[in-house]
Amino acid sequence: MRENHQSAAFCTPPTGDVPATKVCLNPSLQLPVQEVARGFYMLIRKFINDSIK
């Protein structure tokens, strides 16, 4: 029985040029990752602002 999964080609652009910073994520995970990053950024920003006062 063959498993259904995306090949490595799914993550590469049609030209075959892959930048070193290219990150391949499942499209359904992109929004949660962005939200976590935004929350982390806001937490750090608040911590810095509180420490300056």
Classify residue 52: in a domain, yes or no: yes
How many CB atoms within 10 Å of residue 30? Answer: 11
Classify residue 32: in a domain, yes or no: yes
Q: What is the pTM of this model?
A: 0.41
Classify residue 18: in a domain, yes or no: no
* Residue ranges making up the domain that contains 42: 25-53
Q: What pLDDT, in 10s, does the model give residues 1-53? A: 555 555 555 555 556 665 555 666 677 766 788 888 999 999 999 999 998 87
CB 39 within 8 A of CB 33: no
**In total, how many domains does the chain have?**
1
Classify residue 2: in a domain, yes or no: no
CA angle 22, 27, 29 (to 5 degrees): 95
Classify residue 41: in a domain, yes or no: yes
Classify residue 15: in a domain, yes or no: no
Classify residue 11: in a domain, yes or no: no
